[in-house]
A = this chain, B = another copy of it.
Amino acid sequence: MSIQQTLEKILRQVKEGIHPSDLVDLVDELTDAQKKELFELLSDEEAALIIQEMEEFDRVSLIRLLTGHRASAILKEMAVDDAADLLRELPPELTRELLSLIEEEAEEIRGLLKYREDTAGGIMTTDFISLPEDIPVEEAIIRLREVAPEAEIIYYVYVVDEQTRLSGVLSLRDLIAAQDGTLLREIMYRNVISVPTDMDQEEVARVVARYDLLAVPVVDEEQRLLGIITVDDILDVIEEEATEDIYRLAGTGEVEGVNILDASVFGLARRRFPWLVISLLGGLLSGSVIGVFEATLQSIVLLAVFIPVIMGMGGNVGTQSSTLFVRGLATGEIKSRDVWSYLFREVKVGLAMGLANGVIIALAGLLWKGIPVLGLPNGLIIGLAVGLAMFLTITLAAIIGTMVPAIFNYYGVDPAISAGPFVTTIQDVIGLLIYFYTASMFLNYLT
């Protein structure tokens, strides 16, 4: 399909009212000049619908292609929270310029920009419906009919008192099922679940998932209703937080706000580099352990053969343990008070796995390298040394893999950060120390 045909196809589909999500992939294929051409042909409203569905990175670069006037006209048509999210990503001068052109909605958007991006305030919208306590259901339904096309979600109706403090909530279903003449205050649910503006978005997601909500209200310290967060934004938060955890667990650094396919080679390398430096220093530290035991190694070079398996197994068990623990904390399956009992169980799992693998590697040491190279008595000693080292390394790996993230968590640092190169490095150093120490002890018995 030529680019001209793509452009025509997009315009045709826009006019046919296709869902804007389905257009984004097509728009991505256009060059900057063609994107500009396309957006000049679209109405402000059509442009806003498409931009809302685009990835953060693509959205920002698109806005910068347009004139300030056009950009602000499109922003005006966007949902307030989406407009604020977009402006947050732009350079401050451009944000100020666009806000000055938007006029009417600017105040509302500025209000949202105050909040940190990853908090309840940062993801809420101010397009919500609130009604006073003392009107009857039929009047509520009439008011809803008026505002329906404007509000972000009308399935929950929030009820406020005279000071706009959140006093209750009704689902549209309650309203429709109620008898005419009933006042809202009589049927509203009073124990409203709400979140403060500064609650972390991950926490907000947990609240929404726990209570199966379609939206959650955001309030200030005086319980005044400031906005709502809808479940579609929560889906994005859960996805985003899982990605963040996965990246941290693997030690790849943050790649937030960048399309991974468009990011520069240098930018990506730079993000991954700090983790590699930790790993590099750790590797040199492990190397210096080997350096200390150089004389031992000199007398039996064969010992080097088991270095990879000791390091690899310790690293793997450590990664398993920290991953299970970190994810358990993130999903709430493991609570802070469970940490000690969890650790105790993990020690037992480590002992079991250490025993099984210790026996296997002892046999490997004995039959594969020990007896053929060193003869029966010395082969037995090598087998025992390697097996014991493996047993101790694996057991300790399970403990360290759990303890390190637990300590990070205790001090309020995201435990996912600790679980990558950090745990592996500690584990490598300890594994090698155990191995060479055990080996040099046993070597005294060699004949």
Contacts and interface: CB of A to CB of B under 8 A. Distances in A.
A23 B326 CA distance: 25
A287 B369 CA distance: 10
A260 B308 contact: no
Interface in A216-272: 231-232, 234-236, 238-239, 242-243, 245-247, 249-252, 255, 259-261, 265-266, 268-269, 272
Nearest to A424: B312
Majority SS at the chain A contact face: helix
Interface string A174-192: 0011000000000000010
Q: How large is the interface on A (under 10, 10 to 19, 20 to 34, 35 or more residues)?
A: 35 or more
Copies of this chain assembled into the complex? 2
Interface in A11-50: 17-19, 21
Nearest to A242: B242
Interface stretch (A91-99, A102-110, A118-126, A347-355): A347-355
Interface stretch (A61-69, A159-167, A337-345, A405-413): A337-345
A279 interface: yes
Interface of A: 17-19, 21, 55, 141, 144-145, 148-149, 154-155, 172-173, 176-177, 191, 193, 205, 208-214, 231-232, 234-236, 238-239, 242-243, 245-247, 249-252, 255, 259-261, 265-266, 268-269, 272-273, 275-276, 279-280, 282-284, 286-288, 290-291, 294, 297-298, 301-302, 304-313, 315-317, 319-320, 323-324, 327-328, 331, 333-334, 338, 341-342, 345, 348-349, 352-353, 356-357, 360-361, 364, 368-369, 420-421, 424-425, 428, 432
